[in-house]
Structure 1
Amino acid sequence: MATTSVKEKDFMTVVRERRSVRHYDPAAKISREELSDMLKEAALAPSSSNLQPWRFLVFDDPAVKERLLPIANNQKQVVDAAAVIAVLGDVQGYENAPKVYKAAVEAGYMTKEIAQNMIERTLTGYSQIGREKLEHIALIDGGLVSMQLMLAAKARGYDTVPMGGFHADRLMQEFEIPERYVPVMLIAVGKAASPGHPTTRLPIEDITFWNGFAK
């Protein structure tokens, strides 16, 4: 089946129409080129020290998605959606500081002196804060890129659902994921077979506080 052509929506429409969709049209496909474009848009998300510690493991082969199915508690969207993306956080992502900051120099965004200073500070600082804190950073950054990925998909007319209901240890083992990575979530991407359920939100007055919590 041909890939659906891109027809991007305006931001407010995307935000208001995005739903978590669990029923997908198994005949709908998304090309790797378009998936890559969505990931590029997602990767524009902010990250700690711009280290971009997210990594994407994309499952688009039906046979491989069948292997993923029991790991994801047999959620049918795993096999029906066009692809499932495992968002991973790299706790050793700070080791990419030289590549990140040298690229900034080449782009004219900073001087060599500033980049060298940033590289030294990053490598020294992040290497000393411990695995638990590094995982915390990776999970926050992974959440940011995940939300941006879902919005990028919706802007292109696709549907998504974030999944936390999976066995992280089995995912790591089955797909031989190195220990430097921590699973953040799985995201199914495809075309809805039936629309996601509308949901309500708490009043903004109930969740917003100004300049401190009321006594």
Structure 2
Amino acid sequence: MSTTDQQLSSEEVIRSRHSVRKYQRDVVIPEAEWNEILELALNAPSSWNLQHWRFLTIQEQANKDRLLPIAYNQQQVSDASVNVVVLGDLEANLVAPVVFENATPEIREMMLGQINGAYANNPSLGKDEAIRNASLAAMQLMLAAKAKGYDSVPMGGYNPQALIKEFNIPERYIPVMIISIGKAASPGRASGRLPIEHQVIQESF
């Protein structure tokens, strides 16, 4: 049975996901399967359900090779099946009318007022929410890929200005990270984790 045919439990998906930096080149993820991965990722939670992310997907080899120098020549960018540039929406409040179009008039008016008021009164909120919520979707994307038998690696090592220019990213969106996804050529190395007592503070410092 192939990896893609196996049903992994949620715990197995979480524990088996490791960052992979070496990929089998020329592996194409079937469109239907890739859409399933994306649909799973798009179920990530978000503030006010504004879904503050956009996924710029880069699958064509020529475009992957355009991305390679922008990502400081990290070879996985060229070899992986797909690279996803996770973007955060700095103006996600503009999506609110669509999100709440089927709500009752009272709830719609209340939510739009709350959202637009929050964005208007806090200049940093748009960026904070864009990064925070896009990061939630990015993690869900990696777990969805793993559940379907693919590996991934999130990357913060790239030139954001060059990325924006090369791929014509509008000012409304901020690059949050790049995720390479594909079939591992060699397994990711499990990394150690600090103990629970180091990472979890009970009730108060």
Tell me which interval the TM-score lies in, with the shorter structure as reference length. over 0.9
Partner of 1:205: 197
Q: In structure 1, what is the Cα distance between the partners aligned to 2:147 and 2:109?
A: 38
After the TM superposition, list the runs of 4 or more consecutive aligned residues in structure 1 that deviate by more than 6 angstroms. none
Equivalent runs, 1:82-93 vs 2, <5 Å:
82-93=81-92
Partner of 1:77: 76
Partner of 1:65: 64
The unaligned stretches of length 5 or more in structure 2 are: none
Partner of 1:190: 182
Q: Deviations over 1:163-196 (max 9, x none)?
A: 0000111100111101111100000010000000
Q: In structure 2, what is the Cα distance between the partners aligned to 1:208 and 1:139?
A: 23
Partner of 2:104: 111
- Structure 1 209/165 Cα, relative in aligned 2: closer, same or farther at 3 Å? same
Q: In structure 2, what is the Cα distance between the partners aligned to 1:34 and 1:189?
A: 13
Indicate whether 1:154 and 2:146 are aligned: yes
One-letter code of the match for 2:11? Answer: M
Partner of 2:127: 135
TM-score, normalised relative to structure 2: 0.94
Partner of 2:9: 10
Q: In structure 1, what is the Cα distance between the partners aligned to 2:165 and 2:31?
A: 25
Q: In structure 1, what is the Cα distance between the partners aligned to 2:185 and 2:80?
A: 10
One-letter code of the match for 2:36? Answer: D
Partner of 2:116: 123
- What is the aligned length? 203
Indicate whether 1:181 and 2:173 are aligned: yes
Q: In structure 2, what is the Cα distance between the partners aligned to 1:21 and 1:198?
A: 10
Deviation at 1:127, TM superposition (A): 3.1
- Structure 1 5/204 Cα, relative in aligned 2: closer, same or farther at 3 Å? closer
Deviation at 1:33, TM superposition (A): 2.9
One-letter code of the match for 1:149? Answer: L
Deviation at 1:6, TM superposition (A): 5.2
TM-score, normalised relative to structure 1: 0.90
Deviation at 1:197, TM superposition (A): 0.7
Question: 3-state SS of the aligned residue for 1:127?
Answer: helix
Question: 3-state SS of the aligned residue for 1:189?
Answer: strand
The unaligned stretches of length 5 or more in structure 1 are: none
Deviation at 1:5, TM superposition (A): 5.1
One-letter code of the match for 2:57? Answer: V
Question: 3-state SS of the aligned residue for 2:18?
Answer: coil
RMSD between superposed Cα atoms in Å: 1.4
Contact residue 8 and residue 157 of structure 1 kept, 8 A: no
Contact residue 54 and residue 141 of structure 1 kept, 8 A: yes
